[in-house]
Amino acid sequence: GAVVSQHPSRVICKSGTSVKIECRSLDFQATTMFWYRQFPKKSLMLMATSNEGSKATYEQGVEKDKFLINHASLTLSTLTVTSAHPEDSSFYICSAAGTGGYTEAFFGQGTRLTVV
């Protein structure tokens, strides 16, 4: 299958700072990228869907000014957690889908964010 690389895998930041997470599709063009967050022993919760070149569509209850998503190219999407607070600590996962003959979505390794 295709490879999606997410970076960093783990980050610790101070409360009030911003953190950027990158998601790259390495061997196919991702026309769509999904961002999820996951709490311990819970399922993945969809935060937003972004299509290349368009603004992201956020799920209800997700603050778009706090979780900035950029999908400027067919191989890169970023999620920026602005003014992070301890309650933003979570496991964030990206997923990419698109061309290259793939009908499935592929997932990154996830980013463990800890806000102290």
Partner 1 sequence: LAKTTQPISMDSYEGQEVNITCSHNNIATNDYITWYQQFPSQGPRFIIQGYKTKVTNEVASLFIPADRKSSTLSLPRVSLSDTAVYYCLVGDPAKGQNFVFGPGTRLSVLP
Task: For residue 86, state whether it binds partner 1 (rule: CB under 8 A).
Answer: no
> CA angle at residue 96 from 94 to 97, to 5 degrees?
155
Task: For residue 104, state whether it binds partner 1 (rule: CB under 8 A).
Answer: yes
Which residues does 96 contact at the CB level (< 8 Å), separation at least 6? 2, 4, 23, 25, 28, 30, 32, 33, 34, 77, 105, 106, 108
Task: For residue 61, state whether it binds partner 1 (rule: CB under 8 A).
Answer: no
Q: What is the nearest approach in angstroms of partner 1 to the Cβ of residue 115?
A: 17
Q: What is the nearest approach in angstroms of partner 1 to the Cβ of residue 98?
A: 6
| In contact, 93 and 108? CB cutoff 8 Å | yes
> Where does this chain bind partner 1 (CB under 8 A)?
1, 4, 6, 31-32, 34, 36, 43-46, 49, 51, 57, 59, 91, 93, 95, 97-99, 102-110, 112
